[in-house]
Amino acid sequence: INGSQNNTLNTITTAVPFLLITPDARALGMGDAGCASTPNAYSSFWNASKYAFIESRNGIAVSYTPWLRALVPDIRVVDVSLYKKIGLKNVFAFSGKYFSLGDINNTSITGTIIGQFRPYEYYGSLSYSRLLTENFSMGASAKYIYSNLSWGLTVNGTQTHPGRSVAGEVSCFWNDTLR
């Protein structure tokens, strides 16, 4: 999509890498060890079944990250997570993430600017977690993923389209203290 000075294409070849960006500052500070942390509002990012052990009845968390701002000033990630405990054993949760790659100049193979666009990606996830025993829980999540990196540009005579996908996961969590 972007041409360089030596007439080679510099296309975006990764698939939704924003899904790997940690929303939780605490887990990030522990070296991305969120799967081993105590349950919190961001548990759906790591393991939805952790919600069954959360102490509060409901919660919400919002994070905003100016991603790689030393390199590009307008890339950002916004993450929202919320959960609701139903009874003592069931928890429903929603999480979503929006990733904007900032303003991108689209150039021809000769380097001529032919337009500007703002590529973005997002996902939404619904999760359910249930406490099965005093120490064990299971969870399930369903995600919808959307990626629009090219804004319908035509490349070599072919029009590009946003990527859309769904994903599901089943998880379990054992919670016990070491003696």
Q: Is 78 exposed, middle or buried (0-12, 13-18, 19+ CB in 10 A)?
A: middle
pLDDT, tens digit, 9 for 90 and up, residues 85-100:
999 999 999 999 999 9
* Amino acid 158: pLDDT: 83
Q: Is 101 exposed, middle or buried (0-12, 13-18, 19+ CB in 10 A)?
A: buried
63 φψ region: left (φ > 0), alpha (ψ -120 to 50), beta (else): beta
* pLDDT(4) > 50: no
74 φψ region: left (φ > 0), alpha (ψ -120 to 50), beta (else): alpha
- Helix, strand or coil, per DSSP, at residue 117: strand
- What proportion of the chain, given as a percentage, has pLDDT over 70? 92
φ and ψ at residue 25, rounded to 5 degrees: -60, -35
pLDDT, tens digit, 9 for 90 and up, residues 16-45:
888 888 888 888 888 887 777 888 899 989
Q: Single out the residue of 48, 80, 75 nearest to residue 63, CA to CA.
A: 80
